[in-house]
């Protein structure tokens, strides 16, 4: 820590009311400021973690007390009263604050009553460099009675709190930091895991449904087609254009002794069919003969008895 001393003559201190200069060689920088009546005060603003006020306690019999209050920011000490003394006490520690947050603060010294002169000599504060920060301001003491201040002792604004070790503060900070890291890692993982489980459950439910069977064609069931044979008139290619086969409505010629209608015929029927076919061929190819006697007649083939 670094202690900084500020003399009463510094321009950083603001005096309000009736204050006068003084000093002796026994005082800091041989200077002081004093006030001879109540309701006088001065202000000082600083950045640091603690501050003390030093002054001169004059000889007094205690018949008229000198009482002052020391206020840091909005926290005030109980009124401090000097005890009677038969000798002058130089550079006496009149007040020391408790540990403060390492930031800007304002000290106010207010005089409630003055029996003899109040002498202010200098200030000394810790600027907070190279120190562990104290994170809490402690409330003032609730003592309401006037406290007597021995000239050889200093007045304290607040009750001194039980100090907290730096190791304890560091451990708490590390624990909080670790908790934050774990939360930032595991919360997203839990969300992803829940979403994956939901998707898998939905996928499994969809595939658990029974598949719709399709009716297949039975390969062993045969439905025969009922084809009908229609009777057709066949124009013989062996006859002249103006002739048709004798039996145009007869079944198609037999093949290998089997009729086109699917029935077996006897040998006589086959023989007659062959005879008819031969007759038709001969009639197509026979020439016409004319008689010389004027009345020619067409020579015909002898009739075929089938």
CA-to-CA dists, residue 104 to 49, 61, 100, 108, 130, angstroms: 9, 39, 10, 14, 17
Q: Which domains does the chain have, with CATH numbers?
A: 3-159 (2.60.120.260), 234-286 (no CATH)
Nearest to 127 by CA among 158, 87, 100: 100
Q: What is the pLDDT of residues 93-115, one digit of tens each?
A: 999 999 999 999 999 999 999 98
Mean pLDDT for the stretch of residues 156-169: 44
Binned at pLDDT 50, 70 and 90, residue 209 comes out as low
Q: Tell me the average pLDDT across 232-245.
A: 46
Give the model confidence (pLDDT) of 248-303 as tens digits. 444 544 444 444 444 455 667 777 777 777 777 677 665 554 444 444 444 445 55
Share of the chain above pLDDT 70, in %: 55
Q: What is the pLDDT, as a whole number, of residue 229?
A: 44
pLDDT confidence bin for 47, thresholds 50/70/90: very high
**Mean pLDDT of the chain, nearest integer:** 71
């Amino acid at each position: 820590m670094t202690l900084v001393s500020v003399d009463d003559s510094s321009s950083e201190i603001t005096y309000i009311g009736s204050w006068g200069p003084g000093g002796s060689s026994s005082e800091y920088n041989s200077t002081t400021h004093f006030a001879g009546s109540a309701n006088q005060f001065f202000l000082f603003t600083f950045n640091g973690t603690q501050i003390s006020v030093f002054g001169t306690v004059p000889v007094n019999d205690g018949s008229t007390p000198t009482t002052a209050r020391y206020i840091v920011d909005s926290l005030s000490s109980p009124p401090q009263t000097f005890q009677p003394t038969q000798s002058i006490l130089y550079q006496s520690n009149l007040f020391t604050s408790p540990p403060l947050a390492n930031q800007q603060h304002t000290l106010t010294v207010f005089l409630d009553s003055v029996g003899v002169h109040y002498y202010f000599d200098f200030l000394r504060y810790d600027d907070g460099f190279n120190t562990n920060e104290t994170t809490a301001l402690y409330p003032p003491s609730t003592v309401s009675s006037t406290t007597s201040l021995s000239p050889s002792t200093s007045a304290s604004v607040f009750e001194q709190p039980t100090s907290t070790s730096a190791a304890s503060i560091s451990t708490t900070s590390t624990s909080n930091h670790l908790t934050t890291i774990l939360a930032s890692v595991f919360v997203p993982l839990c969300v992803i895991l829940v979403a994956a489980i939901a998707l898998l459950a939905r996928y499994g439910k969809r595939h658990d449904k029974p598949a719709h069977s399709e009716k297949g064609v039975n390969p062993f069931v045969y439905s025969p087609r009922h084809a009908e044979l229609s009777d057709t008139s066949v124009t013989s290619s062996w006859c002249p254009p103006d002739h048709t086969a004798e039996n145009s409505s007869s079944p198609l010629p037999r093949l290998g002794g089997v009729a086109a209608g699917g029935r077996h015929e006897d040998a006589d029927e086959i023989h007659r069919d062959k005879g008819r076919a031969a007759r038709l061929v001969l009639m197509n190819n026979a020439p016409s003969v004319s008689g010389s006697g004027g009345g020619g007649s067409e020579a015909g083939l002898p009739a075929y008895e089938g």
